[in-house]
């Protein structure tokens, strides 16, 4: 059922798109909760509405980058909407030095390990809890990872599987082949404030490496979901060019 992801060559296109300031402006618009219901009504039958994310959660995500970097990762994802932040604690296979990807809703991300830090500025903030509702297309039910799921896609950018019975996210796949499987999902799970603080060497002018999205494709990978909240029209228009 899952359509094959578009070729890797779309990634540079996407990154160009993300750099456009109009994109950021469009993404800042509030998401009407009725958007998906309206789309379903237009299609003649009411499509299921995606369950909004809880405002805070901790998920353990198994990430398969076989098709987009040839690596496997285990990621602790802390989503904290009230405090405007999102953290990916990335454990690469057989590596003892995890990478922290601390994303703030003002667009700044700090990506660091014990030795180095990179600051990236994105044109979009973190996802609101109802990010999937606006512009998602319902593709029906599918059995995935052993769970009975609803499947939605957003403009061939992300495929999102939610368990029918519980509304829990089970899996999401990106257009570039990255597959993320939700291994645990703890509603209300938070990480203590001190763990969000970027180390001093992120702010040292000599060592801190500041980049933008177009220059940092590898770092951008784990931040892809940050862009899934973009309105369908904006995304579609840019892919048509
Ligand atoms: C990772 O994805 C590739 C490509 O889809 C697949 O062949 C492989 O079985 C997956 N590996 C794991 C450990 O999930
Ligand atoms: C965004 O917020 C973070 C955390 O408070 C801060 O370190 C960073 O400088 C801010 N970025 C901008 C562009 O204001």
Q: What are the structural domains, with CATH classification, of the chain? A: 10-27+36-240 (2.50.20.30)
Task: Answer yes or no: is the C-beta of 106 below 6 A from any ligand 2 atom.
Answer: yes
Looking at the predicted structure, is the pLDDT value of residue 163 above 60? yes
Ligand 2 mutation target, pool 104, 124, 199, most atoms within 8 A of CB:
104
pLDDT of residue 11: 44
Residue 3 pLDDT grade (very low, low, confident, very high; cuts 50, 70, 90): very low
Strand 137-144 and strand 72-80: the pairing is unpaired
Q: Which of the ligands is closest to the CA of residue 177?
A: 1
Task: Answer yes or no: is the C-beta of 2 below 6 A from any ligand 1 atom.
Answer: no
Q: Which two tokens stand for residue 219?
A: 């770092």
pLDDT, tens digit, for every residue of 104-125? Answer: 999 999 999 999 999 998 888 9
Of residues 14 and 182, more confidence is placed in 182
pLDDT of residue 72: 95
How far is ligand 1, taken at its centre, from the CA of residue 64, in Å? 6
Task: Answer yes or no: is the C-beta of 67 below 6 A from any ligand 1 atom.
Answer: yes
pLDDT, tens digit, for every residue of 179-215? Answer: 999 999 999 999 999 999 999 999 986 555 665 544 4
């Amino acid at each position: 059922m899952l359509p094959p992801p578009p070729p890797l060559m779309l990634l540079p296109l996407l990154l160009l798109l993300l750099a456009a300031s109009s994109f950021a402006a469009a993404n800042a618009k509030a998401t009407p909760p009725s958007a998906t219901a309206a789309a379903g009504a237009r299609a003649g039958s009411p499509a299921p509405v995606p369950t909004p994310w809880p405002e805070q959660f901790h998920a353990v995500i198994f990430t398969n980058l076989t098709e987009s970097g040839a690596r496997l990762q285990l990621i602790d994802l802390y989503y904290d909407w009230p405090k405007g932040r999102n953290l990916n604690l990335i454990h690469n296979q057989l590596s003892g030095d995890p990478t922290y990807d601390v994303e703030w809703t003002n667009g700044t991300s700090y990506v660091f390990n014990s030795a180095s830090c990179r600051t990236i500025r994105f044109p979009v903030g973190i996802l609101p809890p109802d990010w999937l509702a606006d512009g998602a297309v319902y593709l029906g039910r599918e059995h995935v990872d052993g769970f009975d799921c609803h499947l939605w896609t957003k403009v061939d950018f992300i495929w999102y599987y939610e368990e029918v019975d519980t509304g829990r996210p089970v899996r999401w796949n990106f257009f570039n082949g990255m597959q993320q499987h939700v291994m645990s999902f703890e509603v209300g799970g938070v990480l203590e404030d001190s763990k969000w603080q970027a180390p001093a060497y992120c702010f040292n002018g000599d060592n801190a490496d500041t980049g933008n999205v177009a220059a940092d494709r590898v770092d951008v990978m784990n931040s892809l979901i940050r862009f899934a909240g973009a309105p369908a029209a904006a995304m579609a228009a840019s892919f048509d060019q």
